[in-house]
Amino acid sequence: MKPPRPTPSRTTLAAIRHTLDREQFADCLGRIAGETGASHYLLLLERHVRGKSEPQVVASNWIFDAVQAVGAEALERFAHAAARQGMPMQALRPVPGSAERAAADQRLRETLRRLGHAELHALPLRDAARRCHLLLSCATAGTIDEAMLPSAHLACCYLLARPPAGLFDDRADEILSDRERECLYWVAEGKTAGEVAMILGVTANTVNSYLGQAIRKVGASNRAMAIATAIRAGLI
């Protein structure tokens, strides 16, 4: 018989239920990190501004110089790789056929290790309108209890379901571009890609491209799901 999966403490779950402001939100992240054995946490928001990826650090107990030395873009790249491979930073396999990327990833590992993040795990998080990554780290490899990570992931999803006001400080036009919102709106109204193309004065292929980008940004798997997600989030 398998041993029961470890779960967050009742104290942590109670703190999450009563989170009202940024300070309490950060306290909950610290509690969740501590129960996995991690000494540091960093919550990274995937953000697109006018079609360009500009990830944003939302909450962190890293020292400022560490964040600046590594960069949000590099942390986002690592988080995606860790999610795909299902393993921590120190065990990531190099990108096949890309010596330059492998060298860059090795430099990233060395920089993080030097700054006190020898072991680093990434938990992908998302809600109706956002994609985030929680990075959990510590100075000594092998310290984080990987059996606790699934429970930590659920606790973070619970926490992100009720973020304090102003935490993300984002706007609809930073999640979806005007064209992406327009295309979703008209498809939601029952228009075909060809009809939307006529309305906007572009080609049907362009409309399909905008729709594909919108689907990816809101974390949906198809147009219907993207429309429902965008409506719930107030994006269209």
Quick check: helix, strand or coil at residue 22? helix
Mean pLDDT estimate for the chain: 85
pLDDT of residue 97: 62
Candidates 34, 9, 7, 54; CA nearest to 136 is 34
Calculate mean pLDDT across residues 217-231.
83
pLDDT of residue 94: 62
> Taking the model in full, what pTM does it have?
0.71
Render pLDDT for 41-77 as a digit per residue (tens, 0 to 9).
999 998 766 556 788 899 999 999 889 989 998 899 8
Contact 83, 76 (CB under 8 A): no
Q: Which of 22-36, 140-154, 211-225 bottoms out in mean pLDDT, i.e. has the lowest?
A: 211-225
pLDDT of residue 167: 82
172-232 is classed in which CATH architecture? Orthogonal Bundle (1.10)
Quick check: helix, strand or coil at residue 9? coil
Render pLDDT for 173-200 as a digit per residue (tens, 0 to 9).
457 888 898 999 999 999 999 999 988 8
> Under the phi-then-psi rule, with left for phi > 0, alpha for psi from -120 to 50, and beta for the rest, what region is 166?
left
10-160 is classed in which CATH architecture? 2-Layer Sandwich (3.30)
Calculate mean pLDDT across residues 23-29.
95
Extents of the domains making up the chain: 10-160, 172-232
Q: Does the fold of domain 172-232 match that of domain 10-160? A: no
pLDDT of residue 159: 92
